[in-house]
Amino acid sequence: MKANETTATFPFRDVVRAAVLQAAAMPQTLAALKKVAKAAVTKTWAKAAEAVVNEMVAAGELHAHTQGRSPRYGRDQPPLRNDPVKVRQVLLQAAEQPQTAAQLVKTTVKETKADKAFVETELQRLIKEGRLHPQGPGRSPRYGLHKPTPPHPFDIPPGKTAFARLVTAARKLLHAHPTVAPDDLLHRLRCELLPGSPSSTAQVPSIDQRTPLKAETSPPPLPPTLPTLPTAPLRAYIEEAYNDLCLDPDFQDRLVEIRRLYHWLQQKLPSLSVAEFHRELLQMEKDRLVDLQALNEVHRAKEPELAIRRNERLLYYLIWR
């Protein structure tokens, strides 16, 4: 009797199929599955039981899950190796913290087991679709989920060079006049630069020129011709706080926590309310002076009451334009 006739007339074929399919719930080699098939019948039908396993492979009832000389077969189809939905999802998750294209591909290949070439193609599609954004110039920029905030004009040429010269000149001036406090210098600069402010250099004497105060007397009043120096507006204090905090290693990317700004300002303006602080930040955003950015993982927010809630988002960071 021929082999195909034997398997066709094999009376326990359904029993063998059921046993093999149950065993193939976890992918196994053909040798292991044939061993299960033979165990389901008597020795008389052992050869026929092995043939049933071969039939099941040919009929598509068993699916190869691995490659090589001894691939493993399972009753369910293997997951799609190059699944575009899964690959894109992992790429976008990895880009929450901006990385280079090579790093994104490496992470995604490791997690999805997809082909490297396929992942690279999907990465380029996400970039073209505007879902991933280069975070800077160069041959190997990092890519992230959000468009990068333009750098401050004083951080790039020509503003960077001019500002560095201004800082150098200010240091030389303070060194030449050690009795002048840095705050006094900053105050005079504000008076000169803010629109409509009087010239401080023409009307206000320097510290080393003022009349020394006696311990037992109160300070003499200023002459009537000298106007009172204007108080700097709130946004000027916010800018000063921002520049000061950007010196902190935690804010090297110049993305400053709003709560830290408020704590800094409270030291200079103890009466400043949170509501007033928020109103000024929103107006500065409207005037395109700053960008307010949300925290994606809201549960990680510290002092969320000091951040700004807008619809379902928590505006947690500020960066100067």
Q: Quote the distance between the C-alpha of residue 113 and its chain's center.
A: 24
| Lowest model confidence (mean pLDDT) among 141-145, 194-198, 254-258 | 194-198
| Lowest model confidence (mean pLDDT) among 90-104, 159-173, 183-197 | 183-197
> E-assigned strands of 33-183?
63-64, 72-74, 99-100, 133-134, 142-144
Per-residue model confidence as pLDDT tens digits over 53-82: 999 999 999 988 888 888 999 999 887 888
CB 261 within 8 A of CB 255: no
- Can you give the C-alpha Rg of the chain in angstroms? 37
Per-residue model confidence as pLDDT tens digits over 129-163: 999 999 877 788 999 998 887 778 888 888 888 88
How many Å apart are CA 182 and CA 243, to the nearest integer?
15
70: which 2 tokens? 């001894």
pTM exceeding the 0.75 threshold for the entire prediction = no
How many Å apart are CA 112 and CA 122, to the nearest integer?
13
Report the percent of the chain where pLDDT is more than 70. Answer: 85
pLDDT-derived band at 86 (thresholds 50, 70, 90) equals very high
Residue 244's identity, in one-letter code, is: D
Look at residue 300 in the predicted model and tell me its pLDDT.
87
Look at residue 233 in the predicted model and tell me its pLDDT.
82
